[in-house]
Structure 1
Amino acid sequence: MSEHPQADPSKAVNPQERYSKLTMGVCPDQWGVWFPMDDKQIPWEKALDEMAEAGFSVMETGPFGYFPKDPDRLAEEMGKRGFRVVAGTGWGILHKAEAWPETERFFREIGQTHAAVGAQFVVHLPPMYRDEKTWAYTDDRELSTQAWNLYITNANKLGRIMKQDYGLTMVLHPHGDSHIETPEEIARVFEATDPEYVSFCLDTGHIVYGGGDPIELAKRYPERIGYVHIKAMDPVLVKRAHDEDWPFGKAVADGVSVAPPAGLPSMPDLIEALAELDKELYVVTEQDMYPIAEPGQPLRIATETRKFLAEHGLGQV
């Protein structure tokens, strides 16, 4: 990975100022939550209580429907635990014409709820071509030129709707087993989408999983980075997953997503690279670990992760 960037001596004098534009947050993925409803997931009330206990105060709400959809109820539940909501999240198919009406409807529902509670972002998670639970193929692994062009057209359209109608910035999210995974695919997205309406979620773990370097990507495309998911992957398991063509769900079940300081990227180096961008960024902690192996595991890991990241400058919560 990248070497530690040289800090500006004038900034090093006041470390708090250097990192002050980076705001740490949390989301349900840090608690192993992938779905709105699932009997293997922790109840949302308990997760929310534990997120507050772990020391977080900034929230990305994760799979829409896990927390209450009603904006008044959502604001009440977040408020009484001291949380500020900054983003919502949703899956949406962009590369199939017949899927667009449902994608638009779903994201308008997300947009309406999250605009009402003062959020600023909506994270678009790309559909995966292998099912997260059964690991069976559900879509083509490679998009045709026609499907790719529609993907870009609808990404721009959805971003425009989110911004113009709800005041939310849409950030596209790379993901294992999706059509936005490798450095080449990410670059292709940057080249084709309209930066006025489509920003990018620098998910550090998924970028590593896709064979990329999030530090180099942040340096190369600083203007496109609008939001961050900060997490790490075990490079040995990443290599094995690709060598043996594992589904992403199997890789997660086998422990590919790890808590820092383990894994890649190097978190101190990454935080320095984010500080060098000199822009306001929400940096949301995650660790893919569905299903949870043991009760209490997410709270312990999240607390330790928050403290470790804070030791390296990511301390604004």
Structure 2
Amino acid sequence: MSRQTMFPKGAVKFGITPTGWVNDDFLDIDTGIPFEQIVSEMALAGFEGCSRGHKYPSDAATLKRALDMRGLVISEPWVSTYFTINDMKEQTFKSFEQEIQFLKEMQSGDLVLAELGGSSHQQPIALVPNAPKFSDEQWRKLADGLNELGHKANCHGVKMCYHHHMGTGVMTMDEIARFAELTDPDCVHFCLDTGHLFFAGGDNLEFIRLYGDRIRHVHLKNIRKEVMDYSLANDLSFKEAILKGVFTVPGDPAGCLDFKEILQALADKQFEGWLIVEAEQNPAVATPLLYAQMARKYLEEVTGL
């Protein structure tokens, strides 16, 4: 008898980010775990892909060889865009072209990006009160820039997926709605981040209902609600919230998100693509391999895959 699965076999792939081992926004959240151990533990936990972190080899051939040895592929690189601030369009396009070339060399992955112009998330300041509010002109520049990049990505056969993000100008459901209206759905897709959306006051099931046809990439991030509430009430920075333990993995009983509902909603929308476990945690407190294994076991139980 064949095993019942939530998604058709081959429709989804499971990956993980290195943010449980070492943080890419805050380099001092690091216990010294080397690249080789990070990717070995990802493979040991049962994942088939990973996003790129700052400890990874810069040479694509060297990186691909290390990942091939462990049965891993790249699920996504990250591009920070800066269309809403002055004199950064050329640099944004340059970064985009570099990551497109990287994807070609790696022969795998989607392009995930977010607009970080004016973002508060990397600053030692209150996260939500200092998130930017874009003017009509900034919205136009953002949409025009992303639509142009999205068409370029399509020409390269790459899925370009926009990541709504805490501390940025595309954070809340209202901001996401304006973003969706202004951007081309044929080339600017969504990366749903379950934790960022909930942190910003959004509803994952509503997001999937509204934008399910545009979701091409998913970050599965869980939330410890009591830490989130404390962080918002006390105007913590993003880094302070991370160190308090606001994020955790699917399958952690301390998390509040119902991933059975979220994953079923995605399956009902015929989602195909990467499902990426992401939990920005302090590795000195949350043993990375333990949490990676916890997440993969849970996802197997829920999806049958």
Q: TM-score, normalised by structure 1?
A: 0.85
2:166 to 157, 166, 176: 176
Alpha-carbon deviation of 1:298? 0.7
- 1:14 positional shift: 6.0
- CA change 1:45–1:118 in 2 (3 A) is same
User: Does 2:224 match 1:221?
Assistant: no
Give me the whole-angstrom Cα distance separating, in 1, the residues matched to 2:208 and 2:181: 15
1:231-285 Cα distance to aligned partner (Å, 9 max, x none): 1112232233223322222111111112334323201111211211123121000
Identify unmatched segments of 5+ residues in structure 1: 1-12
CA pair 230-17 structure 1, distance change in 2 beyond 3 A: closer
1:10 is aligned to none
| Distance verdict in 2 for CA 1:17–1:243, change over 3 Å | closer
Amino acid of the residue matched to residue 88 of structure 1?
P
Counterpart residue type for residue 99 of structure 2: I
Tell me what 2:222 maps to. Answer: 232
1:127-182 deviations in Å (ceiling 9; x for gaps): 26225263488x87212221121111111122222232x32111110111111111
Corresponding residue SS for 1:245:
coil
Give unpaired runs (5+ residues) of structure 2. Answer: none
Question: How many Å separate the matches in 2 of 1:189 and 1:36?
Answer: 28
Q: 1:3 maps to which residue?
A: none
Structure 2 residue aligned with 1:250: 240
The one-character-per-residue Cα deviations of 1:33-68 (angstroms, maximum 9, x if unpaired) are 32496672632222111111212122222x4x4322
Distance 1:136 1:214, change over 3 A: closer
One-letter code aligned to 2:40: D
C-alpha distance in structure 2 between counterparts of 1:175 and 1:272, whole Å: 23
Q: Map of 1:1-317 to 2, 5 A cutoff? A: 15-16=4-5, 18-20=7-9, 21-35=11-25, 40=30, 42-61=33-52, 63=53, 65-127=54-116, 129-130=119-120, 132=122, 134-135=124-125, 141-164=132-155, 166-259=156-249, 260-289=252-281, 291-294=282-285, 297-313=287-303, 315=305
Change (3 A) 1:189 1:131: closer
The percentage of aligned residue pairs carrying the same residue is 27
- The Cα of 1:123 is off from its aligned counterpart by 0.5
TM-score by length of 2: 0.88
Structure 1 stretch displaced more, 99-108 or 14-23: 14-23
- Structure 1 stretches of at least 4 aligned residues deviating more than 4 Å after TM superposition: 35-39
Residues 146-155 or 238-247, more deviating: 238-247
CA contact (8 A) 1:96 1:150 kept: no
- Secondary structure of the residue that 1:15 maps to in structure 2? coil
Partner of 1:4: none
Contact residue 120 and residue 131 of structure 2 kept, 8 A = no
**Cα gap change, 1:256/1:37 in structure 2, threshold over 3 Å: closer, same or farther?**
closer
Q: Kindly indicate whether the alpha-carbon contact (under 8 Å) linking 1:214 and 1:265 is maintained by their aligned counterparts in 2.
A: no
**1:15 Cα shift?**
2.0
For the residues of structure 2 that align with 1:46 and 1:264, how far apart are their CA atoms? 30
Would the alpha carbon gap of residues 264 and 154 (structure 1) be closer, same or farther in structure 2, given more than 3 Å must change?
Answer: farther
What RMSD in Å do the two structures reach over aligned CA positions?
2.4
Letter in 2 for 1:87: E
Per-residue deviation, residues 87-146 of structure 1 (Å, max 9, x unmatched): 212222121240111111112111101122112410003326225263488x87212221
Indicate conservation of the 8 Å contact 1:115/1:167, yes or no: no
Per-residue CA distance 1:200-252 (angstroms, 9 max, x = gap): 00100100011011122112222111110011112232233223322222111
Report the CA distance shift for 1:107/1:262 in structure 2 as closer, same or farther (over 3 A).
Answer: same
8 Å CA contact 1:32, 1:287 repeated in 2: no
C-alpha separation in 2, matches of 1:167 and 1:157: 14
